[in-house]
Amino acid sequence: MNRTFYWVATALVAVALAATLLAYPQLPSSVPSHWGLHNEVNGYSPRWTLFLLGPGAMVLVIALFSLLPWLSPKHFEVDTFRPTYLQVMLIIVTLLGYVHGIVLWTALGHKVDTGRAVEGGICLLLMLLGNVMGKVRRNFYVGIRTPWALANERVWNATHRFAAKTFVAGGVLGFAFTLAGWSDWPVMAAIAAGALAPALYSLIFYKQLERHGEV
């Protein structure tokens, strides 16, 4: 089953690569690579860099997720939750492919509200991650890796159950703001609140256990 995640991720890379090769002859020599707060292009790169920023970045994530389990120290192995670990990999690869598609479409001269499109994608990412957060076990690579969560398994598990709720809530709220046209700060605030609240929770819960002599 674990191989299925790698096959799907590889297929996504192949699609991104094929789309880039197909679009390449029609692309200008320099393509937009960075946008400002008001959706204006403020950075350009040679068109060949699209291979690195799209399929290349996706391959890098897959390679990194393949290597990290081997680097895991004892008692922090990802084997205890490998399917969930690979789901996280697939979610990240999918987001990179989505962003690459937006960049390609823009580079071909089509009008796209890139800021809104990317923010909506990040909100969906947060929601998808929220659906797997409760299954993430103690490790150094994915999840809410605060000192307090890593120091105590009970804190880790409680933090990630809490994160499952805040990630989904932050993602849904941010996505609603995006659909309503309230982009930029309201969306980013919703994303930040959903992502950062579990870190604060881990500190509060750890200190509470510490006061009761349970850690």
The pLDDT tens digits of the residues spanning 23-76 come to 999 998 888 777 665 666 766 788 999 999 999 999 999 999 999 999 988 889
Confidence of residue 90 (pLDDT cuts 50, 70, 90): very high
- Confidence (pLDDT) at 30: 84
State the total domains in the chain: 2
Residues 101 and 133 in one domain: no
Residues 67 and 122 in one domain: no
Separation CA 107–CA 59 (nearest Å): 22
The pLDDT tens digits of the residues spanning 135-151 come to 999 999 999 999 999 99
The pLDDT tens digits of the residues spanning 163-174 come to 999 999 999 999
| Stretch 179-199: mean pLDDT | 90
Q: Which residue has the higher pLDDT, 11 or 107?
A: 11
Residues 85 and 132 in one domain: no
- Confidence (pLDDT) at 36: 64
Percent of the chain with pLDDT over 90: 72
Residues 2 and 57 in one domain: yes
Residues 9 and 97 in one domain: yes
Residues 207 and 131 in one domain: yes
- Domain span including residue 192: 114-215
Instruction: Point out the domain boundary residue: 97, 112, 127.
Output: 112
Residues 183 and 122 in one domain: yes
Residues 100 and 126 in one domain: no
Tokens coding 205:
């819960």
Instruction: Point out the domain boundary residue: 89, 112, 135.
Output: 112
DSSP for 52-116 reads IIIIIHHHHHHHHHHHHHHHPPTT--SGGGHHHHHHHHHHHHHHHHHHHHHHHHHHTT----HHH
Residues 3 and 18 in one domain: yes
Residues 85 and 167 in one domain: no
Instruction: Point out the domain boundary residue: 112, 134, 163.
Output: 112
Contact at 8 Å (CB) between 173 and 118? no
